[in-house]
């Protein structure tokens, strides 16, 4: 499992530590016990298990979301996992703090689009 201090990538995600969550964002609800950090076109989503010390926020920009992890009182880690049994991206352990999560983009002749993982 990967760990990091300030910046990490998992497939088409870029995770960057920030000082605080922007004002005015409402927490997102978990789906079936997990926060879907990034939906995959093939159903192999990037997820974080729902926990009391984790809050996930969507923004007005569908390419950017935010994550807040408060120091856990138990031994369980906060982990971003890629839900695929083959050719998967390594899990990333997330320490306490605030994070911006960006979907990567690519340019095509039709214009910018989300990278498809």
Give me the DSSP letters along the chain: -B--SSEEEETTEEEEEESSPPTTPPBPPPBTTEEEEE--TTS--EEEE--TTEEEEE-SSTTEEEEEEPPPSSSPPEEEEE--SSSPPPPEEE-SEEEEEEE-EEEETTEEEEPP-
Residues 22, 66 contacting (CB under 8 angstroms): yes
Question: What is the rounded average pLDDT for all residues in the chain?
Answer: 82
Give the number of other Cβ atoms within 10 Å of residue 114's Cβ: 15
* Residue matched to tokens 């009391």: 52
How many Å apart are CA 35 and CA 21, to the nearest integer?
17
* Residue matched to tokens 């997820």: 47
Q: What is the pLDDT of residue 54?
A: 92
Q: What is the pLDDT of residue 75?
A: 59
65-83 mean pLDDT? 81
Q: What is the pLDDT of residue 86?
A: 61
């Amino acid at each position: 499992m990967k760990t990091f201090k300030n910046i990490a990538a998992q497939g088409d995600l870029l995770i960057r530590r920030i000082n605080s969550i922007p004002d005015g964002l409402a927490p997102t609800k978990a789906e079936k016990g997990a926060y879907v950090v990034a939906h995959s076109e093939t159903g192999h989503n990037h997820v974080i298990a729902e926990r009391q010390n984790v809050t996930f926020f969507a923004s007005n920009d569908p390419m950017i979301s935010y994550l807040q992890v408060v120091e856990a009182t138990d031994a369980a880690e906060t982990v971003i996992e890629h839900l695929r049994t083959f050719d998967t991206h390594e899990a990333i352990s997330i320490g306490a703090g605030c994070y911006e999560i960006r979907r990567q983009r690519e340019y095509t002749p039709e214009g910018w689009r989300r990278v498809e993982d």
